[in-house]
């Protein structure tokens, strides 16, 4: 689903007075970068805005401008427009669980995303899988609207691009990615302010967690590399499930593997992260079998429940998916 026509999106934004800006659960730099950029830009237009996220914003993203504006609760009746950022599926925000009307479209929804698995749950769906990040799509929208991209907005948008391209190292990095990044840097962005917290800083407990996951790597006869951590081990290490972020990309550097998978328990949920370097393996298809999705080479899913011993090998043999 690709929609490059921003006309209806712009009309809806201009006609709205109070806008709810939504990031997905377990937020990353892309969903937060979009929300922060919208929050600043729309307030400059005289709109009332509220950025929300079901989960607490991780400390590594506290460098983002006005990140303290985020809230975890809201009253839907106070808004006439919802903008949801970087959510490939309707359940990824988590807000539908507490607010039954959240996705009813009683309040119009603008769905901005770059995942090929996007469900098209919005009133308007701006979804482009060729975009390296959702923040790239927001940049295009702002340019179309004539919004001045100041240093704060540029910082938020560049953070999203940097996050989702792995520091411009992932295969989704394109010529346009570098062109947009170059334009954003011209706005006075301190690139080091983004790079350090995203990829150059780790807590001692997080490094211990990574050590545990690396020590417990297993490669099966189907060329699937996997690591698993249960909630008990997470508590013993003194970390949180969110601290596993980034380790799957390191695991995926092992050559001659079909794909890599990381399973982690987190508060009655099991999070699965999948990566591949192969062109003939589509991990988004694998994730979709468990209610998730993502990109061809990077995807994930979340399931209610607990891990059992050898859970990963119950899942993997039936999860082969080739293009």
16-51: per-residue pLDDT in tens? 999 999 999 889 999 999 999 999 999 999 999 999
DSSP assignments along 93-152, one per residue: S-GGGT-TTTTSSSS-EEEEE--TT----SSEEEE-TTSS-HHHHHHHHHHHHT----HH
pLDDT digits (tens, 9 = 90+) for 286-317: 988 888 888 888 888 888 888 775 555 555 54
What DSSP state is assigned to residue 56? P
Q: Which residue has the higher pLDDT, 316 or 58?
A: 58
193: its two tokens: 């302010």
Fold of 204-318: Diaminopimelate Epimerase; Chain A, domain 1 (3.10.310)
Using an 8 Å Cβ cutoff, are 259 and 267 in contact?
no
Question: Which residues, 6+ apart, have CB-to-CB distance to 179 below 8 Å?
Answer: none
Using an 8 Å Cβ cutoff, are 213 and 249 in contact?
no
Q: What is d(CA 54, CA 70) in angstroms, rounded to the nearest whole number?
A: 10
Which residue from 300, 59, 60, 37 is spatially nearest to 51, judged by alpha carbons? 37
Q: Which residue has the higher pLDDT, 18 or 321?
A: 18
Q: What is d(CA 219, CA 289) in angstroms, rounded to the nearest whole number?
A: 22
Whether 321 has a pLDDT exceeding 60, the answer reads no
Q: Under DSSP, is residue 219 helix (H, G, I), strand (E, B) or coil?
A: strand
The residues of the chain that CATH labels 3.10.310.30 are 204-318
CA dihedral 236, 242, 244, 249 (to 10 degrees): 180
Under the banding of pLDDT at 50, 70 and 90, the label for residue 106 is very high
Query: In sequence order, what are the beta bridge partners of 272?
Result: 263, 301
The three-point CA angle 15-41-10 to 5° equals: 35
- Determine the CATH number of domain 7-198: 3.90.1640.10
Whether 318 has a pLDDT exceeding 50, the answer reads no
244: its two tokens: 């596993």
Q: What is d(CA 119, CA 88) in angstroms, rounded to the nearest whole number?
A: 6
């Amino acid at each position: 689903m690709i929609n490059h026509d921003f006309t209806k999106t712009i009309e809806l934004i201009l006609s709205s007075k109070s806008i709810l800006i939504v990031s997905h659960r377990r937020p990353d730099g892309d969903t937060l970068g979009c929300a922060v950029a919208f929050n600043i830009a729309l307030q400059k237009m005289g709109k009332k805005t509220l950025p929300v996220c079901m989960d607490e914003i991780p400390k590594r993203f506290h460098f983002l401008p006005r990140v303290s504006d985020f809230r975890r609760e809201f009253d839907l009746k106070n808004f006439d427009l919802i903008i949801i950022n970087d959510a490939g599926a309707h359940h990824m925000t988590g807000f539908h669980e507490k607010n039954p009307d959240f996705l009813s479209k009683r309040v119009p929804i603008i769905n901005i995303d770059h995942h090929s698995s996007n469900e098209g749950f919005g009133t308007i769906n701006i979804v482009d899988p060729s975009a390296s990040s959702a923040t790239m799509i927001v940049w295009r929208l702002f340019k179309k609207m004539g919004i001045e991209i100041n240093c704060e907005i540029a910082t938020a948008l560049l953070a999203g691009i940097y996050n989702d391209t792995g520091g411009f190292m992932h295969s989704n990095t394109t010529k346009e990615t570098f062109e947009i990044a170059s334009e954003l840097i011209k706005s006075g962005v301190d690139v080091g302010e983004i790079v350090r917290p995203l990829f150059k800083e780790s807590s001692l407990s997080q490094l211990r967690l990574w050590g545990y996951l690396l020590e417990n790597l297993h490669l099966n006869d189907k060329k699937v590399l996997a690591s698993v951590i249960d909630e008990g081990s997470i508590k013993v290490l003194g970390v949180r499930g969110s601290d596993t972020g980034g380790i799957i990309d390191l695991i995926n550097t092992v050559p001659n593997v079909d794909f890599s998978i990381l399973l982690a328990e987190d508060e009655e949920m099991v999070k699965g992260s999948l990566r591949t370097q192969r062109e003939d393996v589509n991990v988004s298809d694998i994730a979709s079998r468990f209610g998730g999705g993502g990109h061809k080479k990077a995807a994930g899913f979340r399931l209610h429940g607990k891990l059992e011993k050898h859970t990963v090998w119950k899942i993997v043999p039936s999860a082969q998916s080739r293009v």
